[in-house]
Amino acid sequence: MQQRRASIDNRDEVFKVMACEVVLMAASTDSVEAQAVRGNRSDAIYVGPAQLEAMGTVQGAFFRHSYQTLSWSTFLDGVVVFREEHPPSRGNEK
């Protein structure tokens, strides 16, 4: 992905570059994301360090939007899992 420093002159262009869509594969049934949303009706779920440790070595897509099998408690203190991901948008856009 192309990155540029935002300035008054090019911030709209930078926003467009950053807003490109990334398609994720569906999460496996034992991934951190799937375990977090299973049985929870919230749109955003916090998974803390004890939960991550209890999950052990499982799939997750927290780095670079690709699934990796890791012991996530080694890398993350906690994570918020969103039931559905949306591309970035400006607060004043609908």
CA distance 87 to 24: 12
Domain residue ranges of the chain, discontinuous segments joined by +? 25-82
The secondary structure of residue 47, as a DSSP letter, is E
Residue 44 phi/psi, 5° resolution? -135, 130
Check: pTM over 0.85? Answer yes or no.
no
pLDDT (tens, 9 = 90+) of the chain, 94 residues, equals: 444 444 344 444 444 545 556 677 777 899 999 999 999 999 999 999 999 999 999 999 998 778 999 999 999 999 999 988 777 777 766 5
Query: One-letter amino acid identity for 16?
Result: K
CA distance 22 to 88: 11
User: Six-digit token pair at 86?
Assistant: 């949306």
Among the listed residues 12, 15, 17, 58, the one whose alpha carbon sits nearest the alpha carbon of residue 35? 58
CA distance 76 to 60: 11
